Chains A and B, each alone.
Chain A
Amino acid sequence: MAGGQERVLRRRIRSVQSTRKITKAMELIAASQIPRSLARIIANRPYRLGMQRIVLDAALGDPAGAKKLLTLSEKIDTALVLVITGDRGLSGPYNNASLRAGERLVTKLKSEGTQVQLFCVGKKAAAFFRFRGLDVQESFAGFVDKPTYADAQEIARHLAGPFMSGEAQQVLLVSTRYLSAGSQAVRVEQLLPLVIPELPEPTEPEPLHGYTEFEPDVKKLLFFLMPRALESEIFSALLEGAASFHTSQQRAMAAATDNADELGQTLTRVMNRARQDSITTEIMEIVGGAEALRSGK
C-alpha cells in the first residue's frame, strides 16, 4: 500500500534527524573540549621535561646505581600492564585501538611465560578485559575526561608498590599519544624501570657531568625520584589520552552527522517519490472511475 510506505519513511526520516541532533551536539561538545585539553598538555610540558632532566642528571651522577634501578632485570616473572581508555564510547577508534594493543601485549607476555597483572584506566578497559575473562587487578574510572594530578598519583601508587617490593619487574603502559591534531597513535611504553634515552655505559667516565652535586646523596635521591617520575609520566599519558579521546570523538561524531545528513536526504527523495506515486495512482483511479461512469451512461 502506497500511503503506508510513505508513513514508514516519514518516521525513519524523523528518527535520523533526531539522531543527527545528538551526534551534532556531541561533536560540538567534543570540539569545545579539545583546546582545553591541549592547553593542559602544553602547561604540563615544562614539568615533564624538567622531571626527565632531573632523572637524567641523577642517573649520570651515579651510573652504577642507576643501572641497577633503571635497567630491566634479565628475567621478568611479573609485568604490570596499565591500559588507558575512555569512560565512554562513541569516540571512533579511540577505545578499541588501545584495547586491541593491550590485548596483544598481554597475549605476547603470557606466551613468553610472564605473569601479567592488568591495571585499567577508563570504564571501557575494565569492561573489555573482564568480559574476556582476564583478571583486572585494579581499575580506575570517572576522571579520564579531565584527569587531575591526584588521579595520576593514585594510579602511580598502585603501580610503584609491587615494583619497589620486587614483586613485579616491569611496568608497561598502553595509551594513546597525541602526536598532532591529525594523528594520534597507540603506543606501548615502559614506565618502570624508568626509561632514560641517553643512559651511558657505567664503565665510561663522563667528565662533563661529573660535577653535579646531590642533596641528599644520589642513591637516596634516585629512590625518591622514581615514584615522582612515574607520576609525571602517567599524568602526561592521561592528559594526552584525554586530548586524543576528545579529538577522536569529535571526528567520529562529525562523520556520523554527515552520514545522517546524507541518509536523511536519500530518505526524503525516496519518500517524495513514494508520495508522487501515490498521488499519480490516485489520479489514475479517479480518472479511470470517471471514464467508467461516463461510458456506462
Chain B
Amino acid sequence: MATLNVEILSPEAALWTGTASALMARSSEGNFTVLPEHTATVGDVVSSVVRVQTDEGEIAFAVHSGFFQVGKGLEPDTTLATVLASVAERTTEIDVARAQAAKDAAESRLAAATKGEDEELLAYAALERAELRLSAAAK
C-alpha cells in the first residue's frame, strides 16, 4: 500500500516528520488535502492551520505562510509531502498568553504606524500571526 510521508519544516528545525494518512492545508487557491499517491504538486501555503492525520490522531500546526511540495518519496511506493514554513509551530505548543500580548502590541503598533510605510506592513503581519496563533490554539 502506498504510504504518505510528511515533513513539516521550519528554518530552525524539522517540526515533524513521519507517516500520515492525509495532510490538509490551505493554499492561495483554497483548501486542499494530500493523500498517498497524490500527483506531484508545488504550491504555496497561506497563514492557516495545517493538519496531519496519523494513526495516532490528528496533529495540527499553525503555519504562517510558506510553501508545499508533493512528490515521489525516496523509497518506492511512497509519496513525500513537504511543508516549508518560515514560522510554524504545533498548536499544542502555542503560548496563549504570549500570543494575546503579541496581538495587543501589534494592534497598538498598527494604530501608530503611518499608512503605506514598511512599519505598517510589519505590524499587520505581526497582528496576523498573533491572530492565527490564538485561533489555532482555541481549537
Residues of A that sit less than 8 Å from B by CB: 40, 43-44, 46-48, 50-51, 53-54, 57-58, 61, 148-149, 152-153, 211-216, 218, 221, 224-225, 228, 231-232, 235
Contacts and interface: CB of A to CB of B under 8 A. Distances in A.
Contacts of B10: 47, 149
The 3 closest A-B pairs by CB, nearest first: A215-B43, A47-B9, A212-B40
A46 B14 contact: yes
A216 B86 contact: no
Contacts, number: 86
B7 interface: yes
Interface of B: 7, 9-14, 27-29, 32, 39-44, 66-67, 69, 71, 82, 84, 86-87
Nearest to A161: B118
A50 B41 contact: no
Contacts of A48: 11
B42 A212 contact: yes
B74 to A, nearest CB: 12
A119 B11 CA distance: 23
Given A213-B39, A215-B28, A232-B11, A51 B44 contact: no
Contact of A214 (B11, B42, B66, B86): B42
A85 B29 CA distance: 42
Contacts of B39: 211, 213
Nearest to A60: B42
A53 B28 CA distance: 20
Nearest to A210: B40
A235 B86 CA distance: 11
Nearest to B85: A47
